[in-house]
Structure 1
Amino acid sequence: MNSRNYLQAGDARSFSLSEQTGDADQLLCQVGSVISAGLPGRLPWKELFEAHAVASLANRYFPSHLNIVEPCAGCGLLAVFLVLLNRRRHVRCSDKQRPRIARELAQCVEKEWPFLAHQIRWEEADLRKSTLTVAPSELIVSCHACSFLSDEMILAAEQNRRPLVLVPCCYETQPNLPDRPWLPNWSWKRWPWLLEGETNRLGRSTIHTARVEFLKAKGYDVVMDEIDRQITEMNRVIIARPA
């Protein structure tokens, strides 16, 4: 599950067989087969399993949420799974730029599921320069927002009083936040729970606890869950819902 090897055309048959025998989740096999056949050598196995796991977990906790924003969306595969799990959903993907692989992936899966073209939209925004704007109806779902970007997800949820599904990664335990004139909003003051880096120096568990306790103090009901550790060691998931 954590393989960095890329899906290849020959993998499509394996996915089809696994779907027929019930050895693996049906939707995972369908998407894996489509990507293997239509976009060989472009997407790692790990990203397929990870996107499916996070989307399934978000769908389990928030089955009725039809509008989702996915910051730091990367290739956009998480959005694909979120919509396929509930075909009434609309997902807004946001990243500092839409990478080529995201465009290629969209073209690939839209051949099989044309409605995805109308239910997933992209915008380019750098969260280091401005706080994420969240609509009143949107759920925030973020998988592996690196380092302080995970704190930006918490900030966006709290300021907008929105629910959150967050899989943090790349914990910064030797914090260095030098002056960046071109990023005037990027400062310790944005994330008071990090105590200007003192929280970070105490390690991953302390950072994780500080994030959870901040959300609880702001009136959120917080549940801790995880995705399969075989996919990634950074498998903790913060589920936060305004009380």
Structure 2
Amino acid sequence: MLLHHWRILLPLITTDLRVSAFSFSTTARASRGKFECQFPKHHPLRASTKQISEQTSSSSQSEEQRISVHETIEKLTRHPAVYWDETTTFSSLHNKKLKMRHIDLFAETSDEDYRLFNGFARAVAQAGRVARKEVFETWASALHIHSGFLLGEGGTRRVCDVAAGHGLLAWALLILDDAESKSCEGEGCRPLTVLCLDVVMPRNAELIQAAMLECFPHLESRFDYVEGRLEQLIPHPSCLLASVHACGPLSDVLVATSASSGVPLAVVPCCHSRKRKVLEPVASPFAWDLYDEIMSEDGSMPDLADRLDHARVTALRNSGMVTDEEYLPTLYTDTDKNRLILARVPDDGSFQSSKPQGQAKVKKPKRQRRKGSMPPLDESTSTKSINPNAKYLRGFSVPCEDSETRRALVSRQAGREAADSRKAMMHNRNHSASPRLNMSLWLPENEGALSEEALADLINSRHDGVAVEVSKVGEIYTNSEGRRSQSYRFEYVSSEGGKSILKFDDAKRLHRELYELVPKAFIGAECR
């Protein structure tokens, strides 16, 4: 009988211990002379905490707002979706995707802390493509970013989600700002717009976008997803650079950009590496001594994440940026690498971009580029190439500036159709949207019949969707026998309109066809 009772009571005891045994215990951890009061390191209900900064900030968010954000995030650790039933835990279903069958866990409610999150999660569940933990940690990050940068007069109205992946962070910020803007009145209440950037726009991002627009159709004009490289991004102080799980050197590129250009930043680093060939080219000179110490130390480094993130925060602080650090609950991240680094320009406008003083010279490795590849648009910026051998689309850039003309330009660059068109242009000579090919012809006796319009009609009349523009190149050439020749340039353009680009291989096929048609259409004409 005793054994039978213990079998019944043991699961209840362990569950109770898991949830509440350490809920009132805190630890003080010393980290480079700063102390932090928080839950035990690996406790699942470790709440978000504010690390005491050496530099007092005049933040636009009040202390009440910060406390409110922490309370909301801590409350989300008790959300009904955290424990789906008595036999499962959040960790056991850590990477399980939210599906349509889970929508009931995110029912509509009058509880303000859950209402917006549940609406966001329901849309994600409809797409059925995102792991549960990613939904919770992205929302927690968005709450901190929204409170720290977007609230109040003078708040940032443009956000670029770098290495966006599914684009979840951008959608979370839009939903939070949309709820806030409904209570805002006056001419100064301008809605937030977001830009997502990633090397590849995944199919899942399109599915999530469709699900979000089904639930929030009025947000369509405020969201853009551009497929492009970080080196093609032009940062601007009017736009916040944000990234959740900025892998490896991407975090350091963003930190160096913020430190040198005064661009606001919110980043959750991950995949920490101290390999010199990876870290040295992107390390910020504002904390070069710390970076060099990390790269030069021999042996294992159990505290690599803390030390590397400390170097990043130091670089931002040394440049004059105001820095804060927040921590996402480890219940969501399932790792101790849960630091959110926030940096913004001082409210008094005292930030001035300048070179660091008293720092050792940074020895940059010689960057080799493959023949035909394009360098970053501006070598003076710190958004330098992580992969110097990558090929770039000539003349293509993604501006972050929060102005009407720049936002309109980004909207034209966004989407699958525009991305596919740019890929086609990469294969065209000189990255031209309209391939150009030349042809030299011996002229017939009736030279007037061989006009530019007649040559263009040979292709235009036979192929729908293609328009050929013909122009003369140079003067007429006469050989020793008195035979005359003229060179022509044929520009092949897609007549389908929109963002369609004609591929160079298709233009060559049409050009070969033209070689065969000209002698038949114009008696006496001959291709040289």
Cα shift at 1:236: 0.6
Residue of structure 2 aligned with 1:73, choices 146, 149, 164 = 164
Counterpart CA distance in 2 for 1:8 and 1:106 is 16
Q: Which TM-score applies when normalising by structure 2?
A: 0.41
The aligned residue for residue 35 of structure 1 is 124
For each residue in 1:114-149, what CA deviation from the matched residue of structure 2 results, as whole angstroms up to 9, or x when unmatched? 12221111122223xx27421331011111100111
1:237 aligns with 2:343: no
> For 2:324, what is the secondary structure of its paired residue?
strand
- Following superposition of structure 1 onto structure 2, how do residues 110-189 of structure 1 map, counting pairs within 5 Å? 110-127=213-230, 130=231, 132-173=233-274, 175=275, 177=277, 188-189=280-281
For each residue in 1:58-105, what CA deviation from the matched residue of structure 2 results, as whole angstroms up to 9, or x when unmatched? 011112211111100000011001011112110111111111100110
Question: Which has the greater radius of gyration?
Answer: 2
Percent same amino acid among aligned pairs? 27
Counterpart CA distance in 2 for 1:100 and 1:74 is 10
Runs of 5+ unmatched residues, structure 2: 1-89, 179-190, 347-528
Counterpart CA distance in 1 for 2:197 and 2:114 is 28
Counterpart CA distance in 1 for 2:215 and 2:296 is 47
Cα shift at 1:197: 5.7
Cα shift at 1:23: 9.8
The aligned residue for residue 9 of structure 1 is 100
1:101 aligns with 2:204: yes
1:225 aligns with 2:326: yes
Does the 8 A contact of 2:124 with 2:208 survive in 1?
yes
Moved more, 202-211 or 65-74: 202-211
Counterpart CA distance in 1 for 2:130 and 2:148 is 27
Structure 1 residue runs of 4+, over 4 Å off?
199-202
The aligned residue for residue 216 of structure 1 is 317
The aligned residue for residue 61 of structure 1 is 148
Does the 8 A contact of 1:199 with 1:207 survive in 2?
no
Counterpart CA distance in 1 for 2:210 and 2:141 is 22
Does the 8 A contact of 1:167 with 1:237 survive in 2?
yes
Counterpart CA distance in 2 for 1:238 and 1:229 is 16
Query: Per chain length, whose mean CA-contact separation is higher, i.e. which structure has more relative contact order (CA < 8 Å, sep 6+)?
Result: 1
Residue of structure 1 aligned with 2:136, choices 49, 54, 61 = 49
Size of the aligned set, in residue pairs, is 228
The amino acid of 1:15's aligned partner reads F
Runs of 5+ unmatched residues, structure 1: 179-186
Q: Over aligned residues, Cα RMSD in angstroms?
A: 2.2
Counterpart CA distance in 1 for 2:257 and 2:201 is 21
Counterpart CA distance in 2 for 1:223 and 1:136 is 18
For each residue in 1:202-232, what CA deviation from the matched residue of structure 2 results, as whole angstroms up to 9, or x when unmatched? 5122111111111111001111111111111
Q: Which TM-score applies when normalising by structure 1?
A: 0.86
For each residue in 1:37-67, what CA deviation from the matched residue of structure 2 results, as whole angstroms up to 9, or x when unmatched? x223x11101111111111110111122111
Does the 8 A contact of 2:98 with 2:130 survive in 1?
yes
